[in-house]
Chains A and B, each alone.
Chain A
Amino acid sequence: MRIFISNLLIVLGIFTFSACGHTDTADEKPAFEMTSDEIVNEFLDDEVASNQKFNDQVIAITGPVFELNKENGKVIGVKLSSDEFSIVSCTFQDPLEPDAIGEGRITVKGVCSGFQGDKDSMLPGGVVELKRAALVK
């Protein structure tokens, strides 16, 4: 009976909320504010603890623009880094106009998905990923 009720609640949950989209990150207050170097170094120091601390949190990151990712003439993402192998990679919730991001340091907030990096990998360094990001300044 308990299993039946639990399953019923899951189904009801799906039908009730299945139309809901994601919250707008631009309206969210960041849980942490730090530089791109600081967050990458925290993950490099202790990936497990950093996953627990940062994942699913809205984080505001300030850093130098390393690379813009463009699609159909719009900016869909940006990489912040002062070192080509230690990067914060942000995917924007809403694509930006090409001139929205200038050169130099910018601040982006987004939801942290975790860290890509493996000492046994052929690819050195590591990347902290932010999804549903928004440009702060």
Chain B
Amino acid sequence: MKKTITLALLVLGLGQLGISQDRYFTRDGHVEFFSYTPMEDIEAVNEKMTVVIDFETGEFETSVLIKSFEFEKALMEEHFNENYMESNEFPKATFKGQIEDFAGVKNSNFPPGVEMAAHGKMTIHGVTKDVILPVTVMPNGETYTARSAFVVNPEDYKIEIPNAVRDNIAKEIKVTIQAELAPLKK
């Protein structure tokens, strides 16, 4: 009886504090992209990706500021923002969608590392496309590690590459994401 009351008080207490275990998030997600051509390798990193997953519904959101991508060379960063991504006009890249068959992830018998499909809309450079992203979500103590790797074709998002540097930039840009997701306290 004492245990039941303690448990009830604990649940009520958590409710009062508004603590929800449904959504997990980070504002420090790692995203990098890589362009390989025989002329040049180009890579950039952004450690400030926002990632949120609702563990009840499988809703999945990511958002990143284009200007927060850091390049080793200042001029590459300037060209990326001003000439290609036009980041003053289109400051963010986002994905909003739903991870299929997500309900079992929190179960202890869920096989780790299983690749799931996130169906949704990706917006880059002001252009929104329906895409399917591969996603893995693995428990890591109190947090979950989410990973995804996919390819973006600049042409699909109306990112124009000048003829003079067309051979320096890959037609398919490899993007990888890794995020440690902690419970969201509302």
Q: How would you classify the secondary structure of chain A's contact residues: helix, strand, loop or mixed?
A: mixed
Query: Which B residues touch A132, using CB under 8 A?
Result: 70
Measured CA separation A44–B76 after assembly (Å): 31
- Give 1 or 0 for each of B70-113: 1 = CB within 8 Å of chain A CB: 10111111010000000010011010000000000000000000
Q: Tally A residues with Cβ within 8 Å of B.
A: 37
Query: Which A residues touch B48, using CB under 8 A?
Result: 89, 91, 113, 116, 127, 129
A77 near B47 with CB under 8 A, answer yes
B28 near A121 with CB under 8 A, answer no
A106-121: which have CB < 8 Å to B? 113-116, 118, 121
Measured CA separation A63–B108 after assembly (Å): 41
B162 near A10 with CB under 8 A, answer yes
Measured CA separation A113–B67 after assembly (Å): 5
Measured CA separation A89–B165 after assembly (Å): 34
Q: Say yes or no: is A35 at the interface (Cβ < 8 Å to chain B).
A: no
Measured CA separation A86–B181 after assembly (Å): 18
Query: Which A residues touch B73, using CB under 8 A?
Result: 17-21
Q: Tally B residues with Cβ within 8 Å of A.
A: 36
The answer, among B25, B28, B50, B165, for a CB contact under 8 Å with A69, is B28
Question: Nearest residue in A to B57 (C-beta to C-beta)?
Answer: A122
Question: Nearest residue in B to A128 (C-beta to C-beta)?
Answer: B65
Question: Nearest residue in A to B25 (C-beta to C-beta)?
Answer: A123
CB distance from A62 to the nearest CB of B (A): 20
Q: Inter-chain contact count A-B, CB under 8 Å?
A: 98
Query: Which A residues touch B64, using CB under 8 A?
Result: 116
Query: Which B residues touch A51, using CB under 8 A?
Result: 88, 91
Query: Which B residues touch A118, using CB under 8 A?
Result: 63, 94
Measured CA separation A52–B38 after assembly (Å): 38
Q: Say yes or no: is B140 at the interface (Cβ < 8 Å to chain A).
A: no
Query: Which B residues touch A83, using CB under 8 A?
Result: none
Question: Nearest residue in A to B89 (C-beta to C-beta)?
Answer: A51
A113 near B68 with CB under 8 A, answer yes
Taking A18-B76, A122-B52, A123-B25 as known contacts, 7 extra A-B pairs with beta carbons closer than 8 A to each other, sorted by chain A number, are A7-B162, A11-B164, A17-B75, A55-B91, A77-B28, A114-B67, A116-B64
CB-CB nearest 10 A-B residue pairs: A7-B164, A113-B67, A113-B68, A17-B75, A122-B52, A22-B74, A114-B65, A10-B164, A123-B52, A113-B65
Query: Can you give 29 contacting A-B residue pairs, CB < 8 Å?
Result: A10-B162, A11-B164, A14-B79, A17-B73, A17-B74, A19-B73, A20-B75, A21-B74, A51-B91, A55-B67, A69-B28, A84-B185, A91-B47, A91-B48, A113-B48, A113-B68, A114-B92, A115-B65, A116-B92, A121-B50, A121-B52, A121-B61, A121-B63, A122-B52, A122-B59, A123-B23, A123-B50, A123-B61, A129-B48
